[in-house]
Amino acid sequence: MKKLMEVKDLCKTYVIEKRQNNVLKNISFDIEEGEMVGIMGPSGSGKSTLLYSVSGMDKATSGQIKLDGKDISKLSEKDLSSVRLNDMGFIFQQMFMMKNLTIMDNILLPAVECDKSSETRKEKVARCEELMRKLGIIEIAGNDINEVSGGQLQRACIARSMVNNPKILFADEPTGALNRQSSAEVMDEICKLNKEGTTVLMVTHDAKVASRCSRVLYIADGNIRSEYKMPQGLSDRDHERALNNWLLDMGW
């Protein structure tokens, strides 16, 4: 399969009170088109820092990050912002949305700002409505963000992340703020998108969530210590059990 993302010798260092904190240390990995890759590791291991660095939300100290063959680590902030808007989608644990906009308008906003589309506003609205129907939230289109459940709001965030047909979807603990039922529903939607061809890179602390991925990277002390490829032909429960056993071996 085609390599969509290539990360080579990625380092991220913070300087706090004149002391260096090397959060990421020479990390290298690839993601193939259509993969769903999980990132796991203990608290403070650098999981979220890795996600933010490879997506360009945080500037890497050194190393190379290629997206679809383009080295985004060398782009200006303006060009990088354009890549994030047009080629990437983001889902976070905290469901950041504009309080003064309806659910529909929050989802529509990135499409309006998108500079790679020649669609009319009417066509963009129709595409947003189609996404909302697909995710089962069309009935809350006109609601304010405080008038819906957490699961509905996170599905709206998924719709917003997909509105510009991104090449890759980044998810940082997308189920962390949800109860078990809402978490399962949100993961079902992310898995559907992945099966339809969307590439996903996701940070999670939940083995049940990670077991839905095709591959899991384990990070500790700023390094990728190992990776786990999901075996074929197992039930969901057996996938989770096998992953948990591997995590125990890794010192989880």
CA 89 to chain centre: 7
**Number of residues assigned to the chain:** 252
pLDDT of the residue at 116: 65
**What is the rounded CA–CA span in Å between residue 205 and residue 208?**
9
C-beta separation of 90 from 160 below 8 A: no
What is the CATH number assigned to the segment(s) 3-244?
A: 3.40.50.300
Return the SS3 of 241: helix
Tell me the CA end-to-end span of the chain in Å, nearest whole number: 31
pLDDT surpassing 90 at residue 18: no
HSE of 122, CA atoms in CB hemisphere, 13 A: 0
Residue 58 is given by DSSP the state S
pLDDT, averaged across the chain:
92
pLDDT of the residue at 15: 84
Q: Model's pTM, two decimal places?
A: 0.92
Structure tokens at 5: 């993302």
Query: What are the φ/ψ torsions at residue 225 (nearest 5 degrees)?
Result: -85, -35
- Give the mean pLDDT of 22-33: 96
- Give the mean pLDDT of 31-52: 95
Tell me the pLDDT band of 138, cut-offs 50, 70 and 90: very high
pLDDT surpassing 80 at residue 228: yes
